[in-house]
C-alpha cells in the first residue's frame, strides 16, 4: 500500500524476476498482480502496461507461450516430474511480449493471451478471452473475444498532468469528454525502477535512457522523496517530485 500511495502515480519499470521486467504507467502499478505464468529464467522486457488501467483481481495477462498445436509433441511434461524441465519448451510457442495501452479495463475473469496488443481505452468484458489484438477504444466480449462496438472519442485523460487531474477530479468525466479543451498534459519523467524480492518490493533506482541509475544519483528533491517514502514513516506526498529537481 505504501508503494502504491507514494509511487503509484509515477511511471515504473518493475522487475518480476532478476532479469525480466514490465514497464508500467502511472496509475497501473496494481496491474502487476494480473500478470501470470511468467517463465523462470526469462530475461528482458516481458511487456508494457499503459497509464491508469484497471484490472479485476480475477483477470489475467498470460505470459507463458501457448501450446504449439501444429507440432507432434505439444505438452511440456509437467505431469511427469522426472521429465519436467527436460522437455520444458517442447510443447510451447516462443514467448512474445504483450502491450496494453492506457485507460484499459479488464473485467472479471477476462484473459489476454500472450503477445497480444491492446489499444488505448479498450474494455474487455467479463470472462472474455482475447486471442487477437484489440483496436483502441473498442469494447470486446466473448470467447474468443470479438469487438462489439467502439467507444466515442475523448481526450487522452490518462496523459493529464497529475496535479491537473486531481484538481478536476469532481468533474473529470465532463472535461475528459471535451477533447477540444486546452488541457494540461504531463511532462515526460524518468521511470523509477522497482524489483520484486519475494516478500518485499525494493527500489533499484531510476532510468537514465537505457541505464539504471542508483537513487542516490537522482536530484536531491527526488532522492529525499524516495527516502521518506520507503522509510519507517512518511511525511509528505508529491504529485511530481521531478518538477522540484
Residue 86 pLDDT greater than 60, yes or no: no
pLDDT attached to residue 89: 57
Q: How far apart, in Å, are the Cα atoms of 244 and each of 107, 199, 224, 225, 240? A: 38, 32, 11, 10, 8
By the 8 A CB rule, do 239 and 186 touch? no
Domain count, the chain: 1
Instruction: Determine if the peptide bond prior to 144 is cis (ω within 30°).
Output: yes
Q: Which CATH number covers residue 86?
A: 2.160.10
Residues 14 and 16: their CA atoms lie apart, in Å, by: 6
Q: DSSP letters of 12-69?
A: EEEESSSSEEEEE-TT-GGGGGGEE-PPTT--EEEEEE-SS-EE-TT-EEE-SPPB-T
Residue 177 pLDDT greater than 60, yes or no: yes
**Nearest residue to 25 via CA among 36, 14, 37:** 14
Confidence of residue 77 (pLDDT cuts 50, 70, 90): low
Higher per-residue pLDDT: 82 or 30: 30
- Cβ contacts of residue 28 below 8 Å, gap of 6+? 49, 50, 51, 52, 53
**What value does the mean pLDDT of the chain take?**
90
> Residue 36 sits in which domain range?
2-244
Amino acid at each position: 500500500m505504501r508503494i502504491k500511495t507514494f509511487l503509484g502515480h509515477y511511471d515504473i519499470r518493475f522487475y518480476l524476476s532478476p532479469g525480466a521486467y514490465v514497464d508500467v504507467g502511472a496509475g497501473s502499478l496494481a496491474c502487476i498482480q494480473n500478470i501470470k505464468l511468467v517463465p523462470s529464467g526469462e530475461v528482458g522486457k516481458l511487456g508494457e502496461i499503459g497509464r491508469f488501467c484497471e484490472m479485476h483481481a480475477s483477470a489475467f495477462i498470460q505470459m507463458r507461450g501457448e501450446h504449439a498445436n501444429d507440432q507432434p509433441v505439444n505438452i511440456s511434461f509437467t505431469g511427469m516430474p522426472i521429465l519436467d524441465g527436460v522437455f520444458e519448451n517442447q510443447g510451447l510457442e516462443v514467448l512474445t511480449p504483450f502491450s496494453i495501452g492506457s485507460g484499459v479495463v479488464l473485467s472479471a475473469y477476462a484473459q489476454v493471451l500472450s503477445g497480444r496488443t491492446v489499444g488505448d481505452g479498450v474494455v474487455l468484458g467479463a470472462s472474455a478471452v482475447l486471442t487477437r489484438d484489440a483496436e483502441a477504444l473498442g469494447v470486446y466480449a466473448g470467447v474468443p473475444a470479438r469487438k462489439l462496438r467502439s467507444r466515442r472519442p475523448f481526450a487522452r485523460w490518462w496523459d493529464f498532468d497529475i496535479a491537473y487531474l486531481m484538481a478536476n477530479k469532481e468533474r473529470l468525466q465532463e472535461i475528459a469528454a471535451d477533447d477540444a479543451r486546452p488541457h494540461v498534459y504531463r511532462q515526460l519523467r524518468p521511470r523509477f525502477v522497482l524489483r520484486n524480492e519475494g516478500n518485499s518490493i525494493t527500489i533499484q533506482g531510476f532510468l537514465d535512457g537505457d541505464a539504471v541509475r542508483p537513487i542516490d544519483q537522482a536530484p536531491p528533491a527526488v532522492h529525499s522523496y524516495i527516502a521518506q517514502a520507503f522509510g519507517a514513516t512518511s511525511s509528505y506526498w508529491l504529485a511530481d517530485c521531478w518538477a522540484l529537481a
